[in-house]
Amino acid sequence: MSQALINPQILTWSRIRAGLSEMDVASKLPVKAEKVSEWEAGESRPTFKQAQKWATLAHIPFGFLFLREPPVEKLPLPDLRTVEGMASSEPSLDLLDTVKDVLRKQDWYIEYLQDHERERLPFVGRYSTRAPAKEVVADIRQTLGVNADARRLDYENYMRMLIEAAEAAGILVMRSGIAVGNTHRKLNVGEFRGFAISNALAPVVFINSADAPSARLFTLMHELAHIWIGSSGISDGNTTGGRREETFCNAVAGEFLVPEDSFRALWNSDIPWEDNLAPLASHYHVSPLVIGRRARDLGYIGNDQYGAYYRRILKAFQNKEGGGGDYYRTATAKNSTRFSNAVIAEARSGRLLLRDAGKLLGVQPAKLRTYASKLTE
């Protein structure tokens, strides 16, 4: 059986990039672990079939295995993440593939809007980071049609209402906790909480659903703030030592959800700080985690106190997390309702093949009819 004249260096690079051990690769091919070590050392070579399986397992094009050197990969969006004031580490394969998948969908949607002669959205990039946060908040409220009564909802229904309002305004809101629909590729909350892709025709907000549900509301508003200042980038929710855009978007999100003036009037410094969370969460109709976040950002508690509290909430969510939930509901969240409706409309008109519609949505063509019916429920 003929051997594939691949570059051993690429084998090692692709395995590590995909977060796989030699044992992981050996069990999937399947071969002995010693054989994988031999291939990476250049002492022997895999067959073409084995090399093709390797490429699939490592999530790279087969042709990459024949390159002289590993390709240099960069995030196609500005990286606004920081760790202790320093630039973040190299992006994971899961993050790279997630961003590329969202950009692919956005590109299609922009062409769709151009074909239908849709106008630019006036609120995209309307402000800069020099604007008062309260002014930006007021404009977001007016654009989304959010009034004071909306805050009487619990935070889950409040978030649902905000997402629907954002989509009605022309923003694609996509949410997923896994990379490109692969349940074995869970997104790492420690790496990023969300990202925004600003575009005057088709702005996109992505929320990492692997995060605790009570934290996603803040991420949503943070990413929407990015759209209002015309800024694209990957966010991790960090405040300490954060970039200017991140600091500003955190301030807008905090002011939108929990206005500073009333918060300062209601916060009771004479009791343990955690005793403030539940009553204030009830008052503002957000989660206690959002109140804790606001207290940290306004200097009532330290970063370590909030960090420990957030990790406790996240761990509790991860420990009780069940299955993937309803297939169609999950797919709609991943794609956004607005994007899904556009793809389905093009497929029904015959301008888009069912096969291509299925690829765009990550839904099997045979399930598209049911998927379309679920969008109207």
pLDDT at 113: 96
Cα separation, 59 vs 181, whole angstroms: 13
Say if residues 272 and 305 touch (Cβ distance below 8 Å). no
Residue 322: pLDDT band with limits 50, 70, 90 = low
Question: What's the chain's Rg over C-alpha atoms?
Answer: 23
Residue 31: pLDDT band with limits 50, 70, 90 = confident
Chain segment 194-247, per-residue pLDDT in tens: 999 999 999 999 999 999 988 999 999 999 999 999 999 888 766 555 678 899
Q: What CA dihedral angle connects 226, 232, 238 and 242, to 10 degrees? A: -100
What sign has the CA pseudo-torsion 53, 58, 60, 66?
negative
Is residue 83 pLDDT above 50, yes or no?
no
pLDDT at 369: 92
Please name the residues in contact with 248: beta carbons below 8 A apart, sequence gap of 6 or more: 129, 133, 225, 229
Residue in this structure with the two tokens 């996603």, named with its chain if needed = 216
Chain segment 166-192, per-residue pLDDT in tens: 999 999 999 999 998 888 889 989 889
What is the layout of strands, in order, in the sheet containing 233-235?
172-176, 204-208, 194-197, 233-235
pLDDT at 226: 96
Strands 233-235 and 86-87: unpaired
Domains within the chain, CATH numbers bracketed: 8-66 (1.10.260.40), 82-316 (no CATH), 327-375 (no CATH)
279: exposed, middle or buried (Cβ count in 10 Å: 0-12, 13-18, 19+): middle
Please name the residues in contact with 76: beta carbons below 8 A apart, sequence gap of 6 or more: 99, 100, 103
This prediction has a pTM of: 0.85
